[in-house]
Amino acid sequence: MMTKAIFSGFGGQGVLMMGTSLAHSAMSSGYHVTYLPAYGAEMRGGTANCTVAIGNEEIASPVASEPDYLIAMNSPSLFSFQTKVAARGIVFLNSSIISDRPSRSDLTVYSVPCGDIAQDLGNTRVANVVMMGAFIKKSGVVTPEMYLKSLETIMGSRKKGVAEVNRKAFAAGFDYIKD
Amino acid sequence: MAKIIFQKPKSLKEKIFHYCPGCGHSIVHRLMAEVIDEMGIQGITIGVPPAGCAVLAYNYFDVDMIESPHGRAPAMASGIKRMLPDRMVFCYQGDGDLAAIGLAESFHAANRGENITVIFINNAVYGMTGGQMAPTTLLNQKTTTSLAGRQTLLDGYPVKVSELFSQLEGSAYIERCMVNSPAFVNKTKKAIRKAFECQKAELGFSMVEILSACPTNWKMNTIDSCQWMDDVMSKVFPPGVFKDVTKATKKAAEVPS
Amino acid sequence: MNKVLMSGNNIIGEAAIRAGCRFYAGYPITPQNELTEYMAEHMRKAEGGVFIQSESEVAAINMIAGASATGARVMTSSSSPGISLKQEGISSMAACELPGVIVNIMRGGPGLGNIRPSQGDYFQATRGGGHGDYRTMVFAPATCQELADLTMDAFDAADKYRTPVMILADGMMGQMMEPIIFKSPAPRVYPEKFMLRGAGSGKSKFIRGLLLDPIDAEEHNWKLARKYEVITEHETLCEEHNLEEADMVIVAYGTAARIAKGAIKRLRDHGMKIGLFRPITLWPFPELKLRALSAKVKNFLVFEMSTGQMLEDVRLALQGYAHIDFHGRPGGAVPTPAEFANVVARLYNKRD
């Protein structure tokens, strides 16, 4: 098994946290994993992205040739990365702010209005966790329990109550994707 | 019984100085060794000599020493002192070493208030390399690279290190001295002692700038050199105490809490 | 043993502190700032630990030289242009036989270049970099686990041979996160006689590299050369991957080796017999191992994120016994495994 995902969006949308929390839960689940963020001047323009590769064996390259998943939190991300996604790959779109759709017809698209869902939960900042709920449900790379545990570990030092909000956000995203 | 009134300081090795006749290095070496002896710190002193005429200082001082690349002595001394705060650490630097190539290192060591002592020999010329212009070369002074004399338009101005460093909040004690007369030599020794005491009391960066003759590269005899220091050099680089926090610290210590 | 997920820059810092490093000086430069920041936070928490943000890379290397002389384990880090500035001090440390670890998180060059991952500093790292007849040992990790292990090993090697040791990684490795386990470092062995701590009641010492008498200096140079010979004989490290029945061997290190592995995996599925030879020590270069390989493999492909630097060492090692191709991506360009696989496949099909 080898799963590769690109998370991309505006700086401040918590895109890097999406990657690190997935990487952490993959590690806790016993997989090999590599997380690679875009860094430096590239980030200064206000966009952020990261790649996570998860596998049963040693990860050869941290640079993902053809990611199976693209999680686009804004329109520029969709346009930047849709051409890189593997044939018949899966794209998750933050449909709260992305009205466009991929130009490739082989991709499966899940539109998740994670911004709106987060707003309904009373905290727009957890849109990323909503999206992770949807992603984990569909990809099944790690169990929801393992993911939430990692999320809590990563956010550990932050305010209490955050864990509860995150749980709710994750569940909302998870349930949004129908089996 | 005969009374010994003068002898070689313990902190100097049995070596004959290689310095030219009339050079100030040998005088300053001796003064430092006397101070080290008097303070009883020979066994806990670590020195960092420069690149320049005094590069062989480790042949003379009988204390632990380590060579640094040109100008980097204050950086190296910072590393040493931070790891061994109870040792006495000094840099011995010339004007090219401290005020040209190593200005960043000395400036920032002073600014960080590194608790080290810098002995700064200012002879207004590059000695070891054969008499080129130094950052402290005076206006109109002839050197092998300022043949018509230092010109402001071409070469800028002599750098006044003591004045500069005394402006830094990290510096604790800055004095400029000369070694061209017995009275001045005695005064210089007192300044060196005070600088070391300043370090011992952990007050921060201390530096003694010492105007020192280089008859060879000044192309003067030793007597003229000493005279020139009085008449010309000391007018551009006036001796005196530029910074002294020891008094303020003493006063503060006396105030009952 | 607990696995932890950390970024490469942080791993180097943590491994260094665990290995007993107690003095770090550095100057900010991308893409290694996280390491400097990690040391600022954690070195000051370590018992007896000192962190100085230096005024320049030049000052940093001399600060660690001073601290090293006192007997402390020391480290500095930078990225390519900053490593150029440190060369004066590295040469001086080699001359004075001062141990220390220098981390180079390489970026695109020459000049200011860019901040993308690159491998353009191979010559600088393996040829000494500064002036004079000296070498620095160079470790080239390719995974986060190796960043941890080799950082610890670098301190031991630096002590053992009393020489500066370089960790040569790139911007990607500095930023990348992977789960790792920190091994327990071995107890430090470093005789007090090499430390400069004040003479006490004993004889004073001096540490120097200046030897005005050419015969003394010649002897010192030969002494260093003998040391480098011992290192060359005993300290080479390499990884051999998929070499059984390989018709073609890719030679690559660090990030390039990982991209090559990804490419090999793809091509293996198409029946192409391609292996990887990955030097882990770049100096000493695992020359004999590579040469031995030429007895059965006649086609080699050197892949570097540069215009071809390690290529020269591969040529020296193979001595004309095999055909060598080269693929380079300098200036911070990083190919994907798929792109590189296309290059490899083309050459594989053309091979003798």
For B43, name the nearest residue in chain C, comparing CA atoms only. Answer: C200
Within a 10 A sphere around the Cβ of B220, how many other Cβ atoms? 16
Each residue's pLDDT tens digit, B175-232: 999 999 999 999 999 999 999 999 999 999 999 999 999 999 999 999 999 999 999 9
Each residue's pLDDT tens digit, A77-131: 999 999 999 999 999 999 999 999 999 999 999 999 999 999 999 999 999 999 9
Name chain C contacts of A20, Cβ cutoff 8 Å: 5, 177
Cβ–Cβ gap A61/C259 under 8 Å: yes
- Closest partner residue to B82 among C52, C55, C56, by Cβ? C52
Cβ–Cβ gap B67/C207 under 8 Å: yes
**CA of C206, closest CA in chain B: separation in Å?**
5
Asked if residues C32 and C9 have their Cβ atoms less than 8 Å apart, the reply is: yes
Task: Give the per-residue pLDDT at B171.
Answer: 97
Burial zone of C178 (CB within 10 Å; 0-12 exposed, 13-18 middle, 19+ buried): buried
Containing H/E element for B177?
strand B171-178
CA–CA gap between residue B179 and residue B185 (Å, rounded): 5
Cβ–Cβ gap B104/C204 under 8 Å: no
Q: What ipTM does the predicted assembly reach?
A: 0.95
C198 located within any domain: no
Cβ–Cβ gap B83/C65 under 8 Å: no
Query: Same structural domain for residues C156 and C246?
Result: no
Q: What angle do CA C67, C70, C75 make, to 5 degrees?
A: 30
Domain that holds residue C215: 4-191+205-234
Start-end of H helices in chain C: 8-18, 33-42, 57-69, 80-96, 122-126, 144-161, 171-175, 214-234, 254-268, 287-293, 310-318, 337-350
Give me B232's structure tokens. Answer: 């010309």
Each residue's pLDDT tens digit, C16-48: 999 999 999 999 999 999 999 999 999 989 999
Residue C40, SS3 per DSSP:
helix
- The whole-number average pLDDT for the span B122-149 is 96
Task: Give the per-residue pLDDT at A135.
Answer: 98
- The whole-number average pLDDT for the span A64-76 is 93
Each residue's pLDDT tens digit, C154-189: 999 999 999 999 999 999 999 999 999 999 999 999
Each residue's pLDDT tens digit, B175-186: 999 999 999 999
Tell me phi and psi for residue C283, to 5 degrees. Answer: -130, 120
Cβ–Cβ gap C338/A65 under 8 Å: yes
Query: Same structural domain for residues C152 and C257?
Result: no
Query: Same structural domain for residues C225 and C313?
Result: no
Concatenating the DSSP letter of every residue in chain A gives -EEEEEEEEETTS-HHHHHHHHHHHHHHTT-EEEEEE--THHHHTTEEEEEEEEESS----SS-SS-SEEEESSHHHHHHHTTTSPTT-EEEEETTT-----S-SSSEEEEE-HHHHHHHTT-GGGHHHHHHHHHHHHH-SS-HHHHHHHHHHHHTTS-TTHHHHHHHHHHHHHHHS--
C200 located within any domain: no
- Closest partner residue to C5 among A27, A62, A66, by Cβ? A27
State percent of chain B over pLDDT 90.
Answer: 92
**CA of B98, closest CA in chain C: separation in Å?**
13
pLDDT reading at B253 higher than 70: no
User: Which residues fall within 8 angstroms of residue B251, CB to CB, at 6 or more apart?
Assistant: none
- The whole-number average pLDDT for the span C200-217 is 94
Cβ–Cβ gap C72/B83 under 8 Å: yes
Task: Give the per-residue pLDDT at A162.
Answer: 84
Q: How confident is the model at residue B257 (pLDDT cuts 50, 70, 90)?
A: very low
pLDDT reading at C130 higher than 80: yes
Mutation target among A44, A65, A150, A157 for the C interface, most CBs of C within 10 A: A65
CA–CA gap between residue C87 and residue C95 (Å, rounded): 12
From the DSSP assignment, how many helices (H) and strands (E) are in chain B?
Answer: 11, 9
Residues in chain A: 179
Query: Same structural domain for residues C170 and C66?
Result: yes
- The whole-number average pLDDT for the span C258-270 is 95
Query: Same structural domain for residues C247 and C230?
Result: no
Name chain A contacts of C261, Cβ cutoff 8 Å: 60-61
Query: Same structural domain for residues C182 and C245?
Result: no
Query: CATH number, domain at B187?
Result: 3.40.50.970
User: Which residues fall within 8 angstroms of residue C229, CB to CB, at 6 or more apart?
Assistant: none
Matching CATH number, A2-176, of 3.40.50.80, 1.20.20.10, 3.40.920.10, 3.20.20.80:
3.40.920.10
Give me A120's structure tokens. Answer: 């309904």
Looking at the structure of chain C, the number of domains it has is: 2
Name chain C contacts of A156, Cβ cutoff 8 Å: none
> To the nearest whole number, what is the mean pLDDT of chain C?
96
B103 located within any domain: yes
State the number of CA atoms in the 13 A half-sphere of C308 facing the CB: 10
Asked if residues B103 and C58 have their Cβ atoms less than 8 Å apart, the reply is: no
- The whole-number average pLDDT for the span C137-150 is 98
Asked if residues C300 and C323 have their Cβ atoms less than 8 Å apart, the reply is: yes
Domain that holds residue B239: 24-125+160-212+231-247
Name chain B contacts of C72, Cβ cutoff 8 Å: 83
Query: Same structural domain for residues C215 and C275?
Result: no
- The whole-number average pLDDT for the span A148-174 is 88
Give the neighbours of chain C: at least 3 Cβ pairs within 8 Å: A, B
Mutation target among C62, C93, C134 for the B interface, most CBs of B within 10 A: C62
Query: CATH number, domain at C32?
Result: 3.40.50.970
Name chain C contacts of B79, Cβ cutoff 8 Å: 23, 25, 52, 62-70, 74
Query: Same structural domain for residues C184 and C82?
Result: yes
Looking at the structure of chain B, the number of domains it has is: 1
Name chain C contacts of B65, Cβ cutoff 8 Å: 196, 204-207
Interface size between A and C, measured as CB pairs under 8 A: 72
**CA of C203, closest CA in chain B: separation in Å?**
8
Q: How confident is the model at residue C1 (pLDDT cuts 50, 70, 90)?
A: low
Task: Give the per-residue pLDDT at A134.
Answer: 98
Q: Strand pairing partners for C239?
A: C278
Each residue's pLDDT tens digit, C90-113: 999 999 999 999 999 999 999 999
Domain ranges of chain A: 2-176
pLDDT reading at A12 higher than 90: no
For chain C, say whether A37 makes contact (Cβ under 8 Å).
yes
Name chain B contacts of C207, Cβ cutoff 8 Å: 65-67
pLDDT reading at A44 higher than 80: no
Each residue's pLDDT tens digit, B2-41: 899 889 999 999 999 999 999 999 999 999 999 999 999 9
